Amino acid sequence: MGRKSIQAIIILLLFAAGCKKNTDDGPQVPVDNTGNRVFVVCEGSLGNGNSALSLYLPDKDSAYEDIYKAVNGQALGDVFQSITRIGNQYFLCVNNSDKIMVINRDTWKIDGIPGVNPSGIIGVNKPRYILPISEDKAYVSSLFSNRLYLLDPKTQVNNGSIQMPFKNPEGMFLKGDTAYIATWDTACSQITKVNVQTNTVTSSSIALQGRAPQDILVDKEDKLWILAGNAYNGKQATLTRYDPVTNTPLKTYSFAAADPIRPVFNAGKDTLYFIEVNYNGGTANNGIYRMNIHDAALPSQPFIAAQNFQYFWALGIQPGTGYIYVGDPKGFTQRGAVSIYTPNGVLVKTFPTGIGPGHFLFD
């Protein structure tokens, strides 16, 4: 992937002294973890088993690079993909380790069920993301298969799967009794609907102009936004705004050359942010972009530009403050970094993380 950014490293060194972090003495944990918490999903580098759950406490200006390992005395696994809160637990999808780890929300300790599942490990093939459906049901998307797995969060049991019409179930969204599933398959040009009462694929689907859908969001007017595309396999990226009530597409935006990822709305859900990635080291189509939900065209210039030999991999908007969190993976070859910007795009702070920061959870 892209080479490291000299400017990003300079920023990191300037701000690292102001953050508590892991030291040579081993991973650290906060003495007081009350207040706002920002979890950083650090994927690690594929095949090396060096993923990490990093933590930033904005109220205390403290950063910790691997709280899972610090608390549980073991590595998390290979390719940490996502974190989902369900009740008083966090469910951690560790993709290449074929497992979901369950930890306590307050202590971060493994939170299995004595006599049933004391390890807190739920076996699922290549888990990606979790969509909570009810107290005793959640859907788990997976890579390389056409299966959507059924999880019971209460019993920590994998209850089988739903066969999908395409491979690579990825992003998901729940509305009423319907789960909308994006399958990131280059042969797919639709969003699949699943009836959550019967756990069956419905006869209707959402037709798309583009292929390989990967993310689904909803704006303040209750319209769906669907990101599709696979630049690596030659499928042009598209962004479609869709009315789920009338079942009609309202607008489709096509990206000429960009590889967009990680779409996210602000708190008001009237402004969409996303990352465009340039893996070749240039600045074109590279950075954080934003647009209003009624804009006639895609933004032509980044709101926050990536520098030469740098690209971003994680994006999140903090509730309450509207601060923008951006993850820099630094090529997945060293510790990553997260930079925080004001809603106006002014850099506030940068802190170190584990390898490959990819997602955020604000809790």
280-299 residue pLDDT tens? 889 999 999 999 999 999 99
Query: Which amino acid would we find at residue 85?
Result: R
Could you identify the residue written with the tokens 């708190």?
267
Q: Give the whole-angstrom CA distance, residue 93 versus residue 86.
A: 13
Closest alpha carbon to 317 in 267, 250, 249, 257? 267
| Unique residue bearing structure tokens 């996303």 | 274
Euclidean distance between the first and final Cα of the chain, in Å? 31
Residue-wise pLDDT tens digits, 142-192: 999 999 999 999 999 999 999 999 999 999 999 999 999 999 999 999 999
Q: What is the pLDDT of residues 297-328, one digit of tens each?
A: 999 999 999 999 999 999 999 999 999 999 99
CA neighbours within 13 Å on the CB side: how many for 41? 25
pLDDT tens digits along 3-37: 333 233 323 332 333 343 443 445 678 878 888 99
Length, in residues, of the chain:
363
Report pLDDT for 28.
79
| Strand 324-328 with 337-341, pairing | antiparallel
Domains of the chain, start order:
1-75+308-363 (no CATH), 79-163 (2.40.10.480)
- Report the C-alpha gap between 325 and 337 in whole angstroms: 10
Output the CA torsion sign for 330, 318, 350, 52. Answer: negative
C-alpha to C-alpha distance for 192 and 170, rounded to whole angstroms = 11
Helix residue spans in the chain (DSSP H): 6-16, 67-72
| 176 Cβ contact partners less than 8 Å away, ≥ 6 residues apart | none
Q: What angle do CA 148, 150, 155 make, to 5 degrees?
A: 155
Q: Cβ-count burial of 315 within 10 angstroms (0-12 exposed, 13-18 middle, 19+ buried)? A: buried
pLDDT value for 59 = 94
- For residue 63, the surrounding DSSP H or E stretch is strand 62-64
